[in-house]
């Protein structure tokens, strides 16, 4: 287990709760339709996932929660990863803004078949599983690419990390692709592809760091051969 670290203050939790609500609200506002069923379904999923994860970490792994709140550039984060983090944030904001404009307000995309939306829902459910298990299985799941020496960083071999080396990145890609599939946004899916390429670049840099600087990671790579998609990559 990771060593105990500073706890998140109640004030920080409240501000985080407000931050979580901003994105679903933005989707509904930009859509121009407060009766948009798919928008409400995604908003409910997003709020539930974030709330459950934060409550779990606050109660069971406060040091990881504090680690997740570290700002880019803090600790010994690699310089190149700081730009990666900013890139991910910008793509996420673009994705959040474009989807409701495309899917509901201006309807740029053709209407998706029902089966595409069903796949979107199933993909989001699997994505939430991967997110939650990544947090509960890995007490070193930092948002920054860095070696957490102060927390006695170790390689995790159990749980979802027995399947692929980066399960949370897989969950992120599923989120970015399946949400616009549910919400009916082709442009959202195109942005998701850009996001996936950015994550692939980050994975390559992160694995280079972990292999050279984290004891046991080279052996872990030999045991778990695939990064995010079993039998493919």
Can you tell me the distance from the alpha carbon of 63 to that of 44, in angstroms, rounded to the nearest whole number? Answer: 27
Helices (DSSP H) in 74-185: which residue ranges? 79-100, 114-137, 167-183
Is the pLDDT at 56 greater than 90, yes or no? yes
Question: Could you give all domains of the chain from N- to C-terminal order, each with its CATH number?
Answer: 10-223 (1.20.120.1630)
When mean pLDDT is compared across 73-77, 82-86, 180-184, the lowest value belongs to: 73-77
The predicted-structure confidence for 170-217, as pLDDT tens digits, reads as follows 999 999 999 999 999 999 999 999 999 999 999 999 999 999 999 999
When mean pLDDT is compared across 5-19, 120-134, 151-165, the lowest value belongs to: 5-19
Is the pLDDT at 70 greater than 60, yes or no? yes
Can you tell me the distance from the alpha carbon of 8 to that of 13, in angstroms, rounded to the nearest whole number? Answer: 7
CB 187 within 8 A of CB 123: no
CA distances from 20 to 17, 127, 131 (A): 5, 17, 16
Is the pLDDT at 3 greater than 60, yes or no? no
Give the sign of the dihedral formed by CA 112, CA 114, CA 119, CA 124. positive
Residue 6: predicted pLDDT: 64
Across the range 73-91, mean pLDDT stands at 92
Can you tell me the distance from the alpha carbon of 113 to that of 120, in angstroms, rounded to the nearest whole number? Answer: 11
Across the range 150-179, mean pLDDT stands at 96
CB 2 within 8 A of CB 156: no
When mean pLDDT is compared across 66-75, 149-158, 214-223, the lowest value belongs to: 66-75
- Helices 79-100 and 10-31 cross at an angle (nearest 10°) of 40
Question: pLDDT band for position 5 (50/70/90)?
Answer: low
The predicted-structure confidence for 108-119, as pLDDT tens digits, reads as follows 999 999 999 999
CA distances from 131 to 2, 9, 163 (A): 19, 23, 14
């Amino acid at each position: 287990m990771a060593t105990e670290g500073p706890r998140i203050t109640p004030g920080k939790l409240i501000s985080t709760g407000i931050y979580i609500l901003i994105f679903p609200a933005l989707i509904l506002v930009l859509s121009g339709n407060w009766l948009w069923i798919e928008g409400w379904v995604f908003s409910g999923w997003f709020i539930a996932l974030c709330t459950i994860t934060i409550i779990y970490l606050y109660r069971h792994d406060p040091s990881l929660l504090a680690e997740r709140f570290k700002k880019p550039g803090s600790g010994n984060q690699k310089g190149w990863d700081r730009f990666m983090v900013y890139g991910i944030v910008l793509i996420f904001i673009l994705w959040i803004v474009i989807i409701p404009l495309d899917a509901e307000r201006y309807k740029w995309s053709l209407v998706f078949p029902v089966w595409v939306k069903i796949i979107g829902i199933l993909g989001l459910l699997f994505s939430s599983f991967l997110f939650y298990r990544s947090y509960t299985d890995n007490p070193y799941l930092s948002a920054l690419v860095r070696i957490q020496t102060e927390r006695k960083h170790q390689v995790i071999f159990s749980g979802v990390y027995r399947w692929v080396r980066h399960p949370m990145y897989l969950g992120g890609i599923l989120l970015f692709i399946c949400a616009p599939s549910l919400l009916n946004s082709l442009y959202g899916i195109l942005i998701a592809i850009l996001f996936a390429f950015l994550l692939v670049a980050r994975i390559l840099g992160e694995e280079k760091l972990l292999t050279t600087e984290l004891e046991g990671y080279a052996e872990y790579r030999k045991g778990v051969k695939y990064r995010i998609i079993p039998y493919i990559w």
